[in-house]
Structure 1
Amino acid sequence: AFQSRISQDIDEMRYTLIRERVTCDNLPNEIIEQIVGFISPVELCTCGWEVVSSGFAAIIRTVLSRIRRLDSIDGTDREFFQQITIDDPIKDTQRTNKLHLVVNKLSPYLTNLTLNAAVFSKMLEFVPSTSDGSLLFPHLRRFHIFVGNLCGSLTSRISSGQAMRFTSELKSIEVTVNLSSESETLINCCNFKVLMKLLSYFMGTSGRWSLCLKDATRRAQGWYSPVELSELRNTAFISYVRAVIDMGISLQLLELIDDLKMSPYMIVMQKQRRFLYMYNEFKRCEHLVIRYDIGIVAPSFHSAQSAYEELKRVELVASHVLCKNDLVLYLSNAPNLVLLQILQPPHWVERVKRCTYGCFRNEDYGCFMDWGWASVPIRLPRTCLRFDCCSA
């Protein structure tokens, strides 16, 4: 009876439309702009709504003029940009025309641009051919490019003169290289150097360089013999770091990331571990971030090599360190190192408190405890050792 009563009440419910007897021919422009602002940049550029009326076209131009950031990787229009990475001769012309339309409408306003290699290569084709000094992106200040696995191929058909008309006086350039066992067809040391030379034309006098290397190779980034490094140089972190150093580029940020990294709580159960070999060249930056379990460390011969004065901060993110004392010794010839930050795995404190079997007394977990870094005050007296917890 109770259920039948509920169903009867639901059947009797009706929606009632109440219309106010007020004449309202048009919405205020501010309301229309707010509604149009919810539409993604690419859709707004390609919808063709400018033909509705001159007033509506002015509203669309106002909304577009407020867009400062375009992201082809994680932005709202990432599906559109992902299609450009797919080789399809039939649809390529249509996609190129759409992209050209988007660039023409947004380029005067953008200050922050994130692209993959394929989209960047397409945009280089839109560089103005005139010699009047006009730029494709006149107000761009921050540029982030992704190359390698799943990012499409880079172009090589552009001169230095054309490159200088893409943009100029950038404050920040970030390069992310996605390496895998199949990425060699998309990125290698040769076209990486070409890319870095191209990007150097965009950089201002006081710009900031950042390099992020992500590893999804089966071999991992352990120590390479000279023969191995010659054969596998296109998938080795150290090859790209050395390429940057050889070009005279000073890195403010270097990130080394293992895309296949296991949970730090499971490493004691791993039969085959993935470890990073710490080459001395990794210290040729101001800020070093490592999201990779660290294995063998390159020996340091202080009397035979100069100090790494540029290194000021090292950040280990939820990463195991096999030889902690060796790593401290590795950092001891960085006289300006002010901070060694250890980011513990998510929920670390809670897990340690709940554990009653002493699992976290294992030497593998010493890298997340203060007792594991007892040599820091001795070897690095000017360096602050700080523990923080990663966000989940």
Structure 2
Amino acid sequence: MRLQHIWLADFRNYSQLDLEFPAGTSLIVGSNGEGKTNLLEAVFYLATMTSFRVTPTEALIRTGAESSGAVVRGEMKVDQRDVLFEAALRSSGRSQFQVNRQRVRRRDLLGLAPVSIFMPDDLVLLKGGPGERRRFLDNALSQIDPRLDVARSDTESILRQRNALLRQTGGHLNADAEMTLDVWDDKLADVGERLAAARRSLVAELSVDVAAAYGEIAGQATPVDLAYESTWTAGELKETLSRVRSEDLRRGATTVGPHRDDMSVILEGRLARTHASQGEQRSLALALRLAVHRELGRATGQSPLLLLDDVFSELDPERSRGVLGALQSEQTLLTTAGALPGDIDYSARFKVTAGRVEREE
């Protein structure tokens, strides 16, 4: 998969942009705050209908253009076909998305143009809370199989309804509330089991790739394992919900389910979140992203577009070379505010200044 052309109107700090990208690696250079990451965000948004920054839609619209909204348009080569992706973002009301001028929903778009993003903030995958790791797994699953994004969305909706009912009861169930809670338990058990099963399967598949990727980045084979952590047993979510119902009523919240699960990363037999050094954690975060990149390529049969946002800024030269050797893609967009490894091979270099992009010779 390759991005050939992108057009932006009032997206982030870009009032207008019309830019062509070649195959291979494109360097996007400039000082901090000029719009490099915003450009990658626009590309990612086209492919996934979401921002990797976990931000509201109105934040994507340029200040002063809230009434008219923003437009992101991109032409991509997908399975040897030219495909036009378009997004019209609105600060109020629903944003609209089209593929080849036909309206689409998120589930119709996901996986069509696979994309992988690597960011300095990926350190939260090791140091952050369980929600960061669940989001990492769910975002990967949504591109691998869009039906799983529906399962994630349904799980969140059911949890909102179940928690609202738990709060309304004030800790005491009458017959009607008990019957309604039984219904929500059935629904949550059904969709929650499917989502958790997909996460477990993905973690098992990624574990081998993460170990291999970490070895490539670090320059030596090192034992790395991933484990999916849950407080309930697969196939027994409904029974578990029944068992903890009194506690849920007391707290006014659902205390077990896929929304409480986690993924542990284990380096040389020890939990990486608490025992790995900063450099090891950063390399592990890159290895996690790289493992998903490879899994996504296998699942879709395409080479995912690779977005690298200033990933070399915190790596020593040896690990930077390891990352370069491990990353493979038909097309890569790489941003940097500083120096790059001297042996990097690129097809084009672009300079970003205050929302304006110029190609440098």
Please report the TM-score for the alignment, with normalisation by the length of structure 1. Answer: 0.27
Larger gyration radius, structure 1 or structure 2:
1
Q: Which has the higher contact order (CA 8 A, sep 6+)?
A: 2
Q: Which has the higher helix share?
A: 2
Please report the TM-score for the alignment, with normalisation by the length of structure 2. Answer: 0.29
